[in-house]
Chain A
């Protein structure tokens, strides 16, 4: 079945540094990928829609200059958290839509801790 690989699974960084999270569709091409954020015991919140070859679409309240999204190929989208602060600590999840059946496949998530 369709697999989405997300890396790294865990990362700890210092305040003020930037962190890049990768999301790859391993056996299918994904023109559209999605990035979510999840706080403890809360549901997933959509941050942005990543479109291959064009700018990402951000949800209201999500700072596009802080959460940089690049979707340079049909199998890779990256989320860069710039100038990270402790409040950016969260669980980040990516998702890709399969062209064959329009189903959604999710990555395993990235636990970001900013110290």
Chain B
């Protein structure tokens, strides 16, 4: 799995967009970008994933650069409940029995 680099922490004002960056310069052509988040004292929660096109769902948008070496997770209108650690994970979408590997993530603090 390609290595990812995320800032350790970020702040965001409530109601504003939160833009969380992730660098994955060694990503391979068949590797996807996944985002999960972990709210304090809970298990991780899937947010979104993509290969090379931008993706959007009810939770967030994922913007992947054309060279695929970096991506940004966008929470369009952050709320206090979005305060969490956000993990960017790069890996192939295999059908095997491999677990997800978590890095240190970005601790997002949404301020009132």
Q: How far is the CB of A9 from chain B (nearest CB, A)?
A: 9
- Give how many B residues have a beta carbon under 8 Å from the other chain's beta carbons: 19
Say whether A95 contacts B100, CB under 8 Å. yes
Q: How far is the CB of B110 from chain A (nearest CB, A)?
A: 18
Q: How far is the CB of B98 from chain A (nearest CB, A)?
A: 8
* Residues B79-112 near A (CB distance < 8 A): 87, 93-95, 97, 99-105
Say whether A34 contacts B99, CB under 8 Å. yes
Say whether A49 contacts B99, CB under 8 Å. yes
- Which of B41, B44, B45 sits near A44, CB closer than 8 Å? B44
Say whether B43 contacts A6, CB under 8 Å. yes
Q: Is the interface of B mostly helix, strand, loop or mixed?
A: loop
Asked whether any CB of chain B lies closer than 8 Å to the CB of A91, the reply is yes
Segment from A61-69, A78-86, A101-109 that makes contact with B: A101-109
Residue of A nearest to B38 (CB): A44
Asked whether any CB of chain B lies closer than 8 Å to the CB of A13, the reply is no
Residue of B nearest to A10 (CB): B41
A46 to B102, CA, bound (A): 9
Say whether B103 contacts A43, CB under 8 Å. yes
Say whether A91 contacts B41, CB under 8 Å. yes
Which residues on A sit within 8 Å (CB–CB) of B43? 4, 6, 93-95, 106-109
Say whether B95 contacts A32, CB under 8 Å. no
Map CB proximity to A onto B35-63 as digits: 1 under 8 Å, 0 otherwise.
Answer: 00010011111100000000000000000
Asked whether any CB of chain B lies closer than 8 Å to the CB of A25, the reply is no
Say whether B44 contacts A46, CB under 8 Å. no
Say whether A104 contacts B46, CB under 8 Å. yes
A31 to B95, CA, bound (A): 12
Residue of B nearest to A103 (CB): B46
Contact surface of B with A, Cβ cutoff 8 Å:
38, 41-46, 87, 93-95, 97, 99-105
A-B contact pairs, 18 of them (CB 8 A): A6-B43, A36-B99, A43-B87, A43-B103, A43-B105, A44-B44, A46-B101, A49-B97, A49-B99, A93-B44, A95-B43, A95-B99, A102-B93, A103-B46, A104-B46, A106-B43, A109-B42, A111-B41
